[in-house]
């Protein structure tokens, strides 16, 4: 999961989070999806909309 953000009106900043290899493989994906949803809910509470886009890096 890559989190893109702005800092002092400058874009281009990001953090990349990766799931640890687990069995089944979907567990890692579910964990990252949960983190993304929690970040989205937090930003919505602050008045910002954060889209979640799922794709391969």
Domain-located, residue 14? yes
Cα dihedral 3/1/53/13 (nearest 10): 20
Question: Which residues span the domain enclosing 14?
Answer: 2-45
- Token pair belonging to 27: 């567990």
pLDDT above 80 for 56: no
Q: What is residue 29's predicted lDDT score, i.e. its pLDDT?
A: 79
For the stretch 5-48, pLDDT in tens is 888 888 888 888 776 666 666 677 788 888 888 889 888 988 88
Domain-located, residue 16? yes
Q: What is residue 20's predicted lDDT score, i.e. its pLDDT?
A: 67
Q: Domain tally for the chain?
A: 1
Q: What is residue 34's predicted lDDT score, i.e. its pLDDT?
A: 86
Q: What is residue 21's predicted lDDT score, i.e. its pLDDT?
A: 67
């Amino acid at each position: 999961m890559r989190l893109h953000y702005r800092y002092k009106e400058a874009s281009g900043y990001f953090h990349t989070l990766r799931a640890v290899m687990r069995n089944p493989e979907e567990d890692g994906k579910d964990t990252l999806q949960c983190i993304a949803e929690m970040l989205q809910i937090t930003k919505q509470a602050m008045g910002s909309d954060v889209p979640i886009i799922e794709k391969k890096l």
